Amino acid sequence: MSAFIFRTDASSAIGTGHVMRCLALAQEMRIAGHDVHFVMAPGSPLVDRLKSEGIKIHTMDAKPGSAQDTQKTVQHAKACGADWVIVDGYQFDTRYQDALKENSQRVLFIDDYGNSTHYNVDIVLNQNIYATEDMYPRHELNTTLLLGTKYVLLRQEFLSCPTGRMISKIASNILVTLGGSDPKNVTGKVVEALRTLKDVQVKIVVGGANPNLENLQESCKESFMEIIVDTHDMKKIMEWADIAVSGGGSTCYELAYIGLPALSIILADNQKPVVQELEKAGVVKNGGWHADVTSEKITKSIQELIANHKKREVMSKNGTELIDGKGAMRVLEKLLQC
C-alpha cells in the first residue's frame, strides 16, 4: 500500500473548499487501504472531521507557501514515507513546487486558475468545467494534465446517492449553502429574500467557521428557518431539497451529481467561470456577483425556478449527465500508475 500526504488549509478567510475536495480524494485512498496524512496550519477547521475519517493530522506553524512551509512539508512527507505530496491552495506557487521537486517528492497539484509561472509537478488536476490544455502552456514535459469534470472529486456521502431523482411539480423545500465561512455574509441576504416567500421550508447549512453564525441563528429563528452547522450528511439535505441556493464553488458539482437545480451566486473571482459555464451547460441559474445581488433579485430568481417545473427537470438531467461520480477513483488510479 502507498502513503499520501496532503498540504492544504482552511480558514474563515479562504473557506473550506480546498480541504473538502482533498477529503474526497483522501476517502478514496482510505477505502483502498492507503495511509493518508494532512499537513495544516494550526487552528484549521475540519480537523475533527478529518480525524474521524482515519486521517492523520500534522500541524505546521509556518507561513503558508513559504520556504519554511516547504521544508516542514518535506520533513513530514519523508517521516511518513509518503509516495506522493498532494498540494491544494493558491499560496503554493512555482517556487514551492520547485522546492518539493528538489527534495525528490512526487507532486499532484490541485489547481483552478492555471496561473503558476511554470508547473514543475508530476500531475496537475483541474476538475473544473472550464479547464482546458490552453490554460497550461508552461509545464514539464512529463507533467500529466487531468482536466475537466471527468475528475470532479466527490466525497463518499454523495456517491451512495441513487442516480436520478424525481423533480416535484411544486418546489417547496429550499436549501441554502454558501460555503464553509461566507465572510461577506451573503447567507444573510438570502435569508432576507426567503422571508418573503410563502409555503416554503428552508434549511440553511453553514460551517462552524462562519463569522456571522450567531446573527444567522437569530435571523433563522425569527423566520422559522432551520439552520444546520457543520453537517456530516449533506447528501440527505440535498435529497430533501427541491431547489438550492449555493455558492459557485465545488458545491455546484455536488448539486449537479445529485440532480438538484440551483441558483448559484458567485462569491469569489475563481467562481465566475464555474457558474458561467455551468449555466451554459443548463445545470444552474447564474445568480450573479454577490455584491450586486439584492434580496429582491434572489426572491425573483427563486420564484421563477419554483414556477418552472420543466426547467428544473432539464437542469437536473443535465447535472447528472455532466458528473458521473468517478473522479476521485480516476485520480487515484493515475497516482498509482505513475
The whole-number pLDDT of residue 150 equals 97
Query: Where along the chain do its domains lie?
Result: 3-154+324-337, 158-322
- The class that CATH gives domain 158-322 is alpha beta
pLDDT at res. 162: 61
What cell was used for 8?
Answer: 492544504
Interatomic CA distance for residues 57 and 51, integer angstroms: 7
- Report which of 127, 60, 64, 117 is spatially closest to residue 90, judged by C-alpha positions: 64
3-154+324-337: CATH number: 3.40.50.11190
State residue 161's pLDDT score: 60
Question: How many other C-beta atoms can be found within 10 angstroms of the C-beta atom of residue 2?
Answer: 16
Predicted confidence at residue 163, as pLDDT, reads: 61
pLDDT at position 233: 85
Q: Is the full-model pTM beyond 0.75? A: yes
Only one residue has cell 480558514, namely 11
Could you list the mean pLDDT of each consecutive 10-residue stretch along the chain, which spans 338 residues? 94 82 97 96 86 93 92 94 95 94 93 92 98 95 96 92 79 92 89 92 87 85 88 89 95 95 94 97 97 95 96 96 96 95
Helical residues (DSSP H) of the chain, grouped into ranges: 17-31, 47-52, 67-80, 94-102, 156-159, 186-194, 213-223, 234-240, 251-258, 272-280, 295-307, 309-322, 327-337
